Amino acid sequence: MKKILIILFALLICVSLFGCDDTAAESKADSVPPVSEPSVSEEESKEESEDSIIEVSIPDVSEEDLSLWFDEFTNGYFSASTLEKEVGAVQKDIVFADLHGYAIQYPSFEKDGADGEIAQVLKALKDDFTTFSADLEAPTVLCIDYSSKTNDGYTSVIFNVEYVSKEDDVLKHFILTRCFEKNGEPVLIDTLFRGSYREIVRDEILSIFSEDTELAEKFTEHDIASITNEGTALSEFVLFETSVDFLFLNSDGTVVALNIPKTDIRTAFINVNSIPRKLDPSKKMIAITYDDGPDGRYTNQILDVMEKYGTVATFFELGEMIRGREEVIKREVALGCEVGSHSWEHFNMLKHSLDCLQNDKDKVDAVFKEVLGYTPTLFRPPYGNVNDDICEMYDMAVIGWTLDTLDWQKVSDGGRKDTQALFNYFVNKHEAGKLDGQVALMHSIYSTTAEATELIVPYLLDNGYQLVTVSELITYKLGKDVTPGVRYYSGYTIRANKDCSCD
C-alpha cells in the first residue's frame, strides 16, 4: 500500500473573498458596465453612435472611480489572504493603469538565486497578463498571492495566480511553484527531471489511482485529464528529501497535493543515483551484464531499454573503447547502471606479467577517473581468466558470471547471436526456475543482443524479476559485501601458460 498524503491548501478564489466584503459590495453597487472603447474619446463615440446601431450605451467611468475601485479591490484581496507565509519577507507590487492592474504579493529571501528567479517568474506572469488583457475592455487585475514554507531544507513557494475582472469574474486561475535549495539556488524542472519525466510520473499516478479510487476521487475529472495530457501538467511540485508533492488546482479553487516517494519515480530524475532503488531481497533478482563496450550504437540501444523500463544493468567496459564514447558511460551512470572495468585492451590476463597488467590497469583507472570522476569497484577479467595474484594486484571485486548466454557466437556454431534465440534462452531459463539470483553474461557490441534486450527486459519485469546491478545482487541476494580482491562467480576454466607478448 502506497503512502499517500493529501494536503489541501485553502486557496480562496477572489470571487468569494470579494463577495463577502462589505466595502467591496458597496463599490460593486456603484459600479457600471465595462467601458467598451476605452481609447476612443467621448466625442468620437458620440459620432460613431449616430452612424451605427449601438445596443448597449457606453457608460462613463471616470479614472477616479476606477482607481478608487482598484484600491478597494487590492486592499480586500490582500487583507483576505489566508495563504501561509512561513518564510521570506512579504513584498507588494501594486500598479494600475489603463484599465488593467497588478495586485501582487511575493516573498523576498535576500538570496540572489531565489530573488532573481522570483523576479523572472513575476515578469513572465506580467507579460502573459499584458498580452491576455490587451484586447480586454473590462477593467481587470492580475492577482498573485503565495504560500511559502521549508521542508527538509528546501524552500517552496506556491503562487496562486488569478485574472479577475471588475465584475469579479475569474478569467484565469492557475498555480505556479518554485523550489529552492538551502543556499537559495532554484531547483528548476530542467535540472531536476529528465525530458521523459511526465510519462513516468503520469504512469505512477494512474497506477496509484487504480489502486486507490477514493484518492482518485479527490482529483476532479479536470485534473485527471490534465495529468494524462502531455506537456502542460505535472509542472508544479514541492520537493521533500525523499518525496515530491505534485500539485493540482481543482476546479473549486483548492490545491490538491499528491505525494509520491522519489524511489517510485526514480528514473524521472536526472540525478538518479542520488535516489536509492527500492529492492525487496525476498523477491526474484537478476543481474544482466554487458561486456566489451561501450559501443556508440548498441550500448545506447540497450540503455534506451533500461531508461524506458526504469531499470538497470552492469556494463564491464574496455578502456580503449571509452575514448570517443565518454558520453555513453556517463549515460550508464546517469541511469543508475553500474560500470565496471574489463581491462584496457581485452587481455588474456594469464598470458601477461603482473607488471604488464599493472600498466594496463593504470591506463583503465585513469580514463574512468577522468570521465566518471572515480574508478570502478568491479573488475571482470576478459574470458574470466584470472588467478589469485591478479586478483590481489587488481584490488577490485572480481566478477564472473553464472549464465553464459553465448550471445557472441553464431547459432550455426551452437551460440545465440540471434535475437529470438537469445530471448528464448531467458524464457527457457525462467521456465526452468534458473534465473533468480543469477548473473547473465552478454555483450553490448551486437545488434542481436541489443534487440533481444528489448524483449528480455519487459519479459523479466513481467515475470516478477527485479533487474539489479551486480553490486546490488551481491549485497541483497547473497547478503555479502562487495570486497576488493574477492572473486565472485566463476568464469571459464582457467588456462594457465604465461606468455606475455607485450613486455
Binding stretches for Zn ion (CB under 5 A): 291-292, 352, 356, 382, 500, 502-503
- Which DSSP helix (H) or strand (E) runs through 180? strand 170-180
- For the CB of residue 380, give the shortest distance to Zn ion in the complex, in Å: 7
Query: In terms of CB distance, is 125 or 349 closer to Zn ion?
Result: 349
Distances (CA, A) of 266 to 10, 193, 204, 257, 302: 30, 10, 11, 19, 19
- For the CB of residue 428, give the shortest distance to Zn ion in the complex, in Å: 24
* Helix 298-309 × helix 447-462 angle, to 10°: 10
- For the CB of residue 443, give the shortest distance to Zn ion in the complex, in Å: 7
Query: In terms of CB distance, is 86 or 355 closer to Zn ion?
Result: 355
Query: In terms of CB distance, is 269 or 315 closer to Zn ion?
Result: 315
H helices present in 8-102, as ranges: 14-19, 22-30, 42-51, 63-79
Residues 6+ apart with CB under 8 A from 49: 58
Nearest to 144 by CA among 117, 122, 118: 122
Query: In terms of CB distance, is 87 or 500 closer to Zn ion?
Result: 500
- For the CB of residue 237, give the shortest distance to Zn ion in the complex, in Å: 43
- For the CB of residue 499, give the shortest distance to Zn ion in the complex, in Å: 9
Residues 6+ apart with CB under 8 A from 401: 289, 384, 439, 440, 441, 489, 490, 491
Nearest to 404 by CA among 424, 423, 425: 425
Query: In terms of CB distance, is 73 or 379 closer to Zn ion?
Result: 379
- For the CB of residue 242, give the shortest distance to Zn ion in the complex, in Å: 38
Query: In terms of CB distance, is 382 or 400 closer to Zn ion?
Result: 382
Query: In terms of CB distance, is 247 or 445 closer to Zn ion?
Result: 445
Look at the block and give the residue holding cell 515530491: 244
* Helix 197-211 × helix 221-228 angle, to 10°: 140
- For the CB of residue 459, give the shortest distance to Zn ion in the complex, in Å: 25
Radius of gyration of the chain (CA): 32
- For the CB of residue 152, give the shortest distance to Zn ion in the complex, in Å: 44
d(CA 427, CA 342): 28
CA dihedral for 80, 82, 86, 91, sign (positive or negative): negative
Query: In terms of CB distance, is 78 or 383 closer to Zn ion?
Result: 383
d(CA 148, CA 81): 13
d(CA 355, CA 481): 29
Across the chain, which distance is largest between two alpha carbons, in Å?
110
